Chains A and B, each alone.
Chain A
Amino acid sequence: MFAAAMLAVATTMALALARALLGPTVYDRILALNVFGTKTVLFIAVAGFLFGRPEFLDIGLVYALINFIGTVAVLKLMHYGELGWIDGAGEHDDL
């Protein structure tokens, strides 16, 4: 049954890859990258169970935590045109 789940995850990876290759806008590609990240987490989790070493979920955990950063960085770059706000007004107000 892990094999069935693995098949589903692999199919979704292929579909997301196709969207990333075709994606007409940058946002489509970001979306595909995001989905691909989630599917990689699933891939690593299921592969751990499939091959009998499920203690390697830490890698999935890294992706679940860090994959977000790429998306945020790209959106910020699209929005502001640069990654740092050096003298951005009022950025301490909400802290």
Chain B
Amino acid sequence: MRALQQEHVVLRVIAKMLVPMILLFALYVQFHGDYGPGGGFQAGVIFASGIILYALVFGLSAARQVLPPPVVRRLAPLGVLLYAGVGVFSLLSDRAFLDYSAIDPEHPSHGQHLGILLVELGVGITVASVMLMLFYSFAGRGRR
């Protein structure tokens, strides 16, 4: 096992450079989705892909130390709750469910903008953590 790993020096160096780039790009996609192509769904998958690359090159247990499965399991419902929470917030301020104008009644357009940002953040968190959950479940079930 040890000898095999030492063969892949190039792979490890490149992956070490690439993983932060992928994670950074995922954040860019998440928050630039209003202006160009992108949004929560894409950003979540890209973020998960970055962690998956890390797991593939440096080992699954290393990736599990970066983002432990219990944390991932708690993050997945957090995204859904954030999304639904925005809706409940607008319900509580006497508006329709998911009417983002409630966030900033003075400037409805600004409220819409903020609401979309929050909702996309929720989508991104859920998608990223579910994709990671899938990868951990599949990859962790290897031969013992």
Contacts and interface: CB of A to CB of B under 8 A. Distances in A.
Interface of B: 1-2, 4-5, 11-12, 14-15, 18, 21-22, 25, 29, 36-38, 42, 46, 49, 52-53, 55-62, 138-144
A58 B37 contact: yes
Interface in A10-68: 55-56, 58-59, 61-62, 65-66, 68
Majority secondary structure of chain B interface residues (helix, strand, loop or mixed) = helix
Contacts of A68: 14, 18, 53
Nearest to B63: A84
A73 B12 CA distance: 13
28 contacts: A56-B37, A58-B38, A62-B42, A62-B46, A65-B21, A65-B22, A65-B25, A69-B52, A69-B56, A72-B57, A79-B4, A82-B139, A82-B143, A83-B139, A85-B59, A85-B61, A85-B142, A86-B60, A86-B142, A86-B144, A87-B61, A88-B1, A90-B2, A90-B5, A91-B59, A91-B61, A92-B59, A94-B12
A83 B46 contact: no
Contacts of B5: 90-91, 94
Give the top 7 A-B pairs by smallest Cβ distance, nearest first.
A84-B139, A84-B60, A91-B59, A82-B142, A83-B139, A85-B59, A69-B53
